[in-house]
Structure 1
Amino acid sequence: KRLVPHRALPPYAYIPGRTPHPVSDPLGHQYGVLPVRIKSSPGSTAWAEEFLFGVDLWQQGFYWEAHETWEGLWHAVGRTGSWGDLLKGLIKLAAAGVKAREGRREGVGRHATRAAQLIRVAKSRWDPTDLPLPTWNWPDLLTNIESVAANPVTDVTPDPGGYPVWDWLILASDDQPTPMDSADTPVS
């Protein structure tokens, strides 16, 4: 289920060398669109929505797009602290997805290994009051990422159409927050 259903998913998942670059190619799905710049803190509604949209993108197989979304937030938090570690870990996990789409097993393993390391550090430093989102299922998340690192798979489907490579979620269904509507209020 989508977490931020009022935000449209891209028409295609960017795969280097196979689909138009979203930003630099005139045929790209974000060509001429200014990137979202979040300057607020992790406790704000705008920040939480952007983070959850990154989760939506990742869970639908839009790995490059999730990477870009989380990278903006990573810069907003100064690339440090538990949020910095978590976001960098998720960025690396998204990079593993891009490598899987490119058919690069070694890249999948390398990025997934680093993602697990960073998320483990974030978990060790996490203060539950830092997360204005549901409780994370850290063991399942780390087990899934470590499984990807140990057994990197690739998926070079000619037209992935946004389908995910892996069948697990960053936020388990029991952990997922109520989706947000366009008014930034929970949808019942």
Structure 2
Amino acid sequence: MTDWRPPFAYLPGQTARHPEGAFDRFKQVAPGALSASMPWRLGLDLYHEGFFWEAHELWEAVWLAAPPNSAERCAIQGVIQLANAALKRRMGREAAAQRLDDLAEAHLLEAARRGADVMALTETQILALKKIARGPQKYAIKCTLR
């Protein structure tokens, strides 16, 4: 893993965007090891620290590597939607955030229906991710992967 963090959390319309390719070195995903991949794990850390756009950026690489129509792809899509909801909420766009919360919920429910502990996330960890997306406060439960 890495202790690297971006110098700031990107907030569209309010902060500068990160340089093109700033996250490329962290986007390598080995086939069959999605939940252990650098972009997945670093994305979880960044999400917990309030780097929502940055987590989304990393998770897109994992989503692209996931098998089509798989439980993993549903779970990743749901978590990406949570990051996007948190970002929209931070931008003061509550209606957009709520719509994304609903989309995330649908993806996460479908992922759970297809397989337990998808992407090495427990139900408790998924609830913690949802709480972060729905409010600015920090929560004690952090997604520590097995």
TM-score between the two structures when normalised by the length of structure 1: 0.65
Radius of gyration: which is bigger?
Answer: 1
Pairing 1:116–2:105 present:
yes
8 Å CA contact 2:78–2:108 kept in 1: the answer is yes
Identity of counterpart residues, as a percentage?
26
Counterpart of 2:79?
Answer: 90
Partner of 1:16, secondary structure, is coil
Aligned AA (2:3): R
User: Which of 119, 122, 138 is 1:167 aligned to?
Assistant: 138
Decide whether aligned partners of structure 1 residues 64 and 44 sit closer, same or farther in structure 2, where only a CA change above 3 A counts. Answer: closer
The answer to whether the Cα contact below 8 Å between 1:79 and 1:85 also exists between their aligned partners in 2 is no
Verify the 8 A CA contact 1:63 1:95 in the aligned structure 2: yes
1:17-166 alignment runs, 5 A limit: 17-23=13-19, 31-33=20-22, 35-36=24-25, 37-43=27-33, 47-127=36-116, 131=119, 133=120, 136-138=121-123, 141-142=126-127, 145=130, 165-166=136-137
For residues 102 and 24 of structure 2, the distance between their equivalents in structure 1, rounded to whole angstroms, comes to 29
The Cα shift of 1:33 comes to 3.5
- What do the CA deviations read for 1:85-136 (whole angstroms, capped 9, x no partner)? 00000110000111011100001101111111101100110155x64x4xx3
Deviation at 1:15, TM superposition (A): 0.3
Give the counterpart letter for 2:97 in structure 1: V
Residue 34 of structure 1 and its aligned partner are, at CA, apart by: 6.2
The 2-side partners of 1:61 and 1:22 are apart by: 15
- The amino acid across from 2:123 in the alignment is W
Q: How far, CA to CA, are the matches of 2:68 and 2:5 in structure 1?
A: 26
Q: Report if aligned partners of 1:112, 1:148 keep a CA contact under 8 Å in 2.
A: no
Q: Shift of residue 21 of structure 1? A: 1.1
Which amino acid is 1:60 matched to?
Answer: E
Runs of 4 or more consecutive aligned structure 1 residues displaced over 4 Å after TM superposition: none
Q: Note closer, same or farther for the CA distance 1:83–1:144 as it changes in structure 2 (3 Å cut).
A: closer
Q: Please tell me whether the aligned partners of residues 14 and 21 of structure 1 are also in contact (alpha carbons under 8 angstroms).
A: yes
Which protein has greater RCO, CA pairs closer than 8 Å, 6+ apart? 1
Distance 1:44 1:15 in 2: 27
Give 1:10's match in structure 2, choosing from 1, 6, 9: 6
Distance in 1 separating the partners of 2:102 and 2:51: 20
Give the match's secondary structure for 2:72. helix
Greater helix content: 2
Q: CA RMSD in A?
A: 2.9
TM-score normalized by the length of structure 2: 0.81
